[in-house]
Amino acid sequence: MTFINYASREINCKIVYYGPGLCGKTTNIQWIYEQANPEKKGKLVSLATETDRTLFFDFLPLDMGTVKGFKVRFHLYTVPGQVFYDASRKLILRGCDGIIFVADSQRARMEANIESIANLATNLKENGFDIRSIPYVLQLNKRDMPSAAPVTEMERLLRFRGEPMIEAVANQGTGVIETLKAAARQILMELQRS
Amino acid sequence: MAKLDLIMFEEEYKLLQEIIGRLAKDASAKVVFLVDKNGQQIAAAGDVKSIDATSLASLTAGNVAATDGLAKLIGEKEFSLLFHEGEKDNLHISIVGKRGILVVIFDQNSSLALVRLRVKKASKELQEIFDQVEQRAQKESDTGSRFESPFSEITDEDIDRLFGD
Ligand SMILES: Nc1nc2c(ncn2[C@@H]2O[C@H](COP(=O)(O)OP(=O)(O)O)[C@@H](O)[C@H]2O)c(=O)[nH]1
Ligand SMILES: [Mg+2]
């Protein structure tokens, strides 16, 4: 649900990073936070466990500049990846405008990726969204790992609607902004259609 | 898609702002925020600068969402009210209609009873405006006749510019 405020001329878009545990969701938004212009970013809120695992969500507000005289602001959220936090994941998808699915390229995580996409489809549906039509980007993260599966294989297993697919090494910042931009493009294009 | 955009016009926004401003005064509150259940701030009044409003909105929505989840778990529809008591400041959180959350921060200059009373009155008024906004959105989506969107001509260059290249 995009919140368009004609009084303050603002558009707020909620983008959710989804994916299995430890795939690099938090790393994506941490990198964005670190390199963003100080006056454009708000505080990075992380509700994490003692061991830095996301407990409820990470949240980063970003002021992006203006489009057609409207201030565009992104609200970036990550979900906790572990299977047992499903109730929390469902809540965070509430009213989202777009999804960035972060896949872990390591061979051993391929099943976890597939399960997480299935879980995303279910949770989106429960929130009234359709995974086939909501703005959606696939990020193949951890491309630097020696055990990374070939891109073609990951595409065959994980890409299902011709969505933008971006290779990334999130802890080095590679592909991070490109991914966000691909999501932003889809969300803003969606606005003109609706 | 079940998605209905929340589109707020100047007149409605002014009304909301007025109600919250009045509430802040009548309840002797430090700050009053109206946020959306999805975590976005709609309006604020009082000593707004003293608080990181964006984080407050997001965390409040997270808090309410988690509490909603708890309510369902024990077979309640929702808990309409949350109260957090601090050493100096207290946080009064209540639900307005289907999508609004009203957050009142107050200290010893006010009291829970007073806040409660004023919130009740303000909630009713806010609810009416939310209903209006919703009805208009529903009508527009039913008839397919929406006002001219200013975003009908977004180009790739517009998006590139947002990312500073
Ligand atoms: N080698 C490598 N490690 C990464 C990459 N992205 C994230 N990591 C590491 O993977 C671990 C889990 O990342 P995190 O962002 O917490 O995962 P989350 O559970 O999805 O939020 C951290 O130690 C990161 O530093 C990457 O592209 N390559
Ligand atoms: Mg995390």
Least trusted range by pLDDT, from B59-63, B115-119, B135-139: B135-139
Residue with the two structure tokens 């004609």? A6
Chain A positions touching B13 (Cβ under 8 A) are 5-8
| Parent domain of A150 | 3-193
- Residues 6 or more apart whose CB falls under 8 angstroms from that of A3 comprise A10, A11, A12, B5, B6, B8, B36, B38, B40, B42
pLDDT for the residue A42: 83
pLDDT for the residue B2: 35
Smallest CA–CA distance, residue A112 to chain B, in Å, is: 25
Asked whether A149 lines ligand 1 (CB < 6 A), one says no
Cα–Cα distance for residue pair B90/A103, rounded to 1 Å: 42
pLDDT tens sequence across A61-115: 998 888 888 889 999 999 988 777 888 888 889 889 999 999 999 999 999 999 9
Which class for A143: exposed (0-12), middle (13-18), buried (19 or more C-beta within 10 A)? Answer: middle
3-state secondary structure chain B: CCCCCEEECHHHHHHHHHHHHHHHHHCCCCEEEEEECCCCEEEEEECHHHCCHHHHHHHHHHHHHHHHHHHHHCCCCCCCEEEEECCCCEEEEEEECCCEEEEEEECCCCCHHHHHHHHHHHHHHHHHHHHHHHHHHHHHHHHCCCCCCCCCCCCHHHHHHHCCC
| pLDDT grade for B3, boundaries at 50, 70 and 90 | very low
Contact B46, B31 (CB under 8 A): yes
pLDDT for the residue B113: 94
pLDDT tens sequence across B103-126: 999 999 999 999 999 999 999 999
In a domain, B149, yes or no: no
Cα–Cα distance for residue pair B45/A61, rounded to 1 Å: 21
Length, in residues, of chain B: 165
- Which range, B38-42, B81-85, B148-152, has the best average confidence (pLDDT)? B81-85
| Parent domain of B63 | 10-143
Mean pLDDT of the B74-85 span:
88
Ligand 1 pocket test, candidate residues A30, A49, A171, most atoms within 8 A of CB: A171
In a domain, B159, yes or no: no
* pLDDT beyond 70 at B1: no
Task: Residue A11: give its domain's CATH number.
Answer: 3.40.50.300
Prediction ipTM score:
0.73
Q: Which of residues 146-175 of A touch B (CB under 8 A)?
A: none
Task: Name the closest residue on chain B to residue A126, using Cα atoms.
Answer: B2
In a domain, B3, yes or no: no
Burial B145-164 (b: 16+ CB within 10 A, else e): eeeebbbeebeeebbeebee
In a domain, B56, yes or no: yes
Q: Which ligand is nearest to the CA of A81?
A: 1
In a domain, B152, yes or no: no
Cα–Cα distance for residue pair B64/B2, rounded to 1 Å: 21
Chain centroid, CA A66 distance in Å: 22
* Residues B52, A128: C-beta atoms closer than 8 Å: no
How many domains does chain B fold into? 1
Taking every pair of Cα atoms in chain A, the longest distance, rounded to a whole number of angstroms, is 52
Smallest CA–CA distance, residue A83 to chain B, in Å, is: 17
Asked whether A169 lines ligand 1 (CB < 6 A), one says yes
pLDDT for the residue A120: 97
How many domains does chain A fold into? 1
Task: Residue B44: give its domain's CATH number.
Answer: 3.30.450.30
Residue segments in chain A with a per-residue pLDDT below the cut of 50: none
In a domain, B60, yes or no: yes
Contact A165, A138 (CB under 8 A): yes
Length, in residues, of chain A: 194
pLDDT for the residue A143: 98
Please tell me whether residue A4 adopts helix, strand or coil conformation: strand
Asked whether A32 lines ligand 1 (CB < 6 A), one says no
Between A84 and B81, whose confidence is greater?
B81
Closest CB to B162 among A45, A127, A184: A184
